[in-house]
Amino acid sequence: MKVVSFFQLKEVRWAIAPQDLAAIRAELPQVEIVSVEDEADLPAALADADAFVGWTFPATCFAGAKRLRWIHTANAGVEANLFPEMVASDVILTNAAGLHSVSIPEHVLGLMLALARNFHEAARIQARASWDRFGVIAYAGGIKELSGSNLAILGAGAIGAALARLGAALDMRVRVLRRRPDRPVSGAEAVVGPEQKLELLRWADFVVLATPLTAETENLIDREALAAMRASAYLINVARGEVIDDAALVEALERGAIAGAGLDAFREEPLPASSPYWSLPSCIVTPHVSGYTPKYFEHTLALFRDNLRRFVAGERLRNVVDKRLGYVTEGVAASVGASRGRDR
């Protein structure tokens, strides 16, 4: 059985360490793991591969990978791996859902605190070496408290669910929007469906986007959604940039239609220097780092190794993505025999 490992995502590169490769080979001697670092070498490596692990499987290599049965992405978001040929095939896709359930909710908490306490304005005042207490206190309508505030979370995966618990622990009133509102979320006083989106936005002091990117969530926050939000409310995005209509959000921030935004994901990454987000004073930009943790690669490898053991044994895999929906659901599981091939 052959597994190809290739980790390259925009400007980020990684490879499984030699000692970890050796440990996997010692545990599963029937598995050949080929670590590829140059994308030009992928077509040849994938031609007889049974499985792939990395961030994104290159769509151009799919037709030639005739033995492929399983793709494991180290991302939680899987949209880049859901090209039409892949969705239509019997290849199973698993992802890293759950690995960011600490880092991303904590990042959101940091952004909420920074916006509520006007830390972004305090940093600008510090750069001027100015003791301007009133400038910090009065910026963007004044300092707010998280306790007693209304937190709306759009998305109830591992990240949204963990954030709901954090928000409740801080005495925030939490409501969650999810596709299946009949499923409760711990810490949330209410769970609503997509048809109640505008009502939820009108209620919220903080709106956090934690949804997968699908056809239903693209431009989820558009002009109508922003118009529904309170002028004192904040928008935080740790999902994908495509869930926001950028022109609409820039206009809303420039007009003061909402109090501010904390953005960690963008349609175009790296974010171009020409983007107005950089210079909007009410916007905090972080360079897609909410998912990072010092233990990210350790946890990524541990999940992959567990699924690899299951794959070899023909057992149910963890984090199987429903390719029609674009995310992991409770009802999806799969087992794959490592020796089985695939005809296409």
Is this model's pTM higher than 0.85 or not? yes
Burial class of 151 by CB neighbour count within 10 A (0 to 12, 13 to 18, 19+): buried
* Exposure of 263 in the CB half-sphere (CA atoms within 13 A): 30
Give the pLDDT score at 258: 98
Give the pLDDT score at 344: 40
Q: pLDDT tens across 41-70, in order?
A: 999 999 999 999 999 999 999 999 999 999
Same domain, 140 and 219: yes
Same domain, 29 and 111: no
Number of separate helices (H) and strands (E) present in the chain? 11, 15
Same domain, 309 and 277: no
Query: Which amino acid type is present at position 25?
Result: R
Give the pLDDT score at 343: 43
What does DSSP assign to residue 119?
H
* Confidence band of 339 (pLDDT split at 50, 70, 90): very low
Q: Which of 173, 175, 288, 310 is catalytic?
A: 288
pLDDT > 70 fraction of the chain, expressed in percent and rounded: 96
Whether residue 336 is contained in a domain is answered as: no
Give the pLDDT score at 341: 46
Same domain, 59 and 170: no
Q: In terms of residue numbers, what domain contains 31?
A: 2-99+294-328
Find tokens 């490769």 and name the residue. 21
Same domain, 208 and 324: no
What is the average per-residue pLDDT within 64-78? Answer: 96
Active site residue 299: no
Active site residue 240: yes
Q: Which of 269, 299, 318, 344 is catalytic?
A: 269
The rounded distance, in Å, linking the Cα atoms of 48 and 61 is 11
Q: Which of 100, 173, 240, 310 is catalytic?
A: 240
User: For the chain, what is the domain count?
Assistant: 2
The answer to whether residues 299 and 99 touch, using CB atoms and an 8 Å cutoff, is yes
Active site residue 269: yes
For the beta carbon of residue 209, count every other beta carbon within 10 angstroms.
25
Give the pLDDT score at 338: 43
Whether residue 339 is contained in a domain is answered as: no
Alpha helices, H only, the chain: 18-27, 42-46, 84-88, 103-116, 119-127, 133-138, 158-169, 197-203, 223-228, 246-255, 296-313
For the beta carbon of residue 105, count every other beta carbon within 10 angstroms.
25
